[in-house]
Amino acid sequence: MSSLVALLVVVTSASLGGVSDSPTIPADLPDRPHGDPSTELAANPVLRTDNPVLRTAGTLIERMGIELDLSDPARPSGTMPVDGNTQPYGLLHGGASVVLAETLGSVAAALAAGPGRIALGVDINATHHRAVPGGVVTGRAEPLHVGRTVASYEVVVTDERGRRVCTSRITCQLRDAPTG
């Protein structure tokens, strides 16, 4: 499965069709070098499999069992098994929820930054609402602010019954990728 092990990228023209129709990210950013991310992501040069943000082999993403769904690249979601990501009491480890949240927020920011740009996490916080003894949790990143140099996302992690497990906020700096 090459370097995209544990990565589920569900991208078809049909699945991206509604991206530009939804009010995702403010379009009133005239100094933004790449235009409106909601339409830009639908065109999709960033979702190429050679994009470094989508390489998961040998990373914490793979180790945690996180699977990404980029069918709505402006609002990435992903799943993570509880098994293998527990604390000594057999419950989902709070740090595992934060790893899922940081992954989704960082991927969202990197995709919004556009080609030739990178996202660097500068802040993350999390509130844990309930214990999860098993199954799979799902996270979804929602943009709070996406500008030219900073992007912030709220990531909500839910259990298999749709109950909120964790709420996290992540802020990333957007900058030009280093050369060389």
| Segment 12-51, tens digit of pLDDT | 222 333 333 232 333 333 333 444 444 444 455 555 556 6
Q: Edge-to-edge strands of the sheet including 117-128?
A: 67-69, 77-81, 136-146, 150-158, 164-176, 117-128
Kindly list the catalytic residues.
102
Q: What's the rounded Cα separation, in Å, for the pair 129 and 163?
A: 9
Amino acid 102: pLDDT: 97
| Segment 124-174, tens digit of pLDDT | 999 999 999 999 999 999 999 999 999 999 999 999 999 999 999 999 999
What are the residue ranges spanned by the domains of the chain?
2-176
Superfamily of domain 2-176: Hotdog Thioesterase (3.10.129.10)
Q: What's the rounded Cα separation, in Å, for the pair 94 and 86?
A: 8
Q: What's the rounded Cα separation, in Å, for the pair 104 and 91?
A: 22
| Segment 78-113, tens digit of pLDDT | 999 999 999 999 999 999 999 999 999 999 999 999
